[in-house]
Amino acid sequence: MKRPTVSPIPGLNSVRIMRQVPTTKHGSKTKRRFNNYFKGFEEVPAVREIFGQETDEVLAGLRVEFLRSRSDYIWVSDEDGHLIANANYLRDGETRAIYLDLIHELVHVKQFRDGREILLRIGKRFEYVDRPTELEAYKHTIKEARRLGMTDEEIVDYLRVTWLDEEEVRRLARNLGVKVSR
C-alpha cells in the first residue's frame, strides 16, 4: 500500500509526519530541520512535558538525518544529539507507531541535552528493558499511547521490536505497568 506523503495522526489534528524524505549517507553533514518534516510537535502536550518552556527552541534547533537502512527505526546520535531516522520506516511504518517512536526519541534528545548517557550498551550495567533512560522514555511514550486511547494489548504490540524477544517484551511491559494478556 502506498503511503501518503504527509500523514496525520488520528486524535492529533495538528501533527503531520512527512513520509517521503530526502536521504543521505550516514555521517553526512546534511541534517534537516526537525520541524520541516515533523510538523505540529511543538503543540503536543507530551512534547511540552518533555522540554517545558524550551520546547519551541529545542524543536526549532533539532536536526534530523534520514538514512536508508534495513534495521532500526529512529534513534538519537550519541555524538551530538540529533535524530537519525530510517527513511524506509518513515515511508512504510504505521503512522501511530512512528509518532510514538518520535515521542520516545525526543525523551532521549532531552536526556542527551541533560548530559545523560543514552547509548545502548546492553549487558554493561543494565539490560535494555531495565535501563533507566529507556524506562523513562517508554513511560512518556506509554502515557501518550494511553492518552490516544490505546489498550494494553495494543501497547504490548507496540513494544514488540526486533531486538527484544518475547520474554523481554513481557518484562518491559511489566516494568512499565502495562498488563500482558498472552
pLDDT tens, residue by residue, 22-67: 988 766 678 999 999 999 999 999 999 999 999 999 999 999 999 9
Q: pLDDT of 63-85, one tens digit each?
A: 999 998 766 789 999 889 999 99
Mapped onto helix, strand or coil, the DSSP state of residue 22 is coil
Residue 1 — very low, low, confident or very high, per pLDDT cuts 50/70/90?
very low
* CA trace torsion 49, 84, 116, 121 (10° rounding): 130
Instruction: Quote the longest CA-to-CA distance of the chain.
Output: 46
What integer pLDDT is reported at residue 125 of this predicted model? 58
Continuous segment of H or E residues that includes residue 105: helix 95-113
- Binned at pLDDT 50, 70 and 90, residue 122 comes out as very low
Sign of the dihedral through C-alpha 154, 159, 163, 166:
negative
CA distance 14 to 9: 8
The residue among 122 and 152 whose pLDDT is bigger is 152
Pick from 129, 133, 139: nearest CA to 75:
133
Read off the amino acid at residue 111. Q
CB 162 within 8 A of CB 71: yes
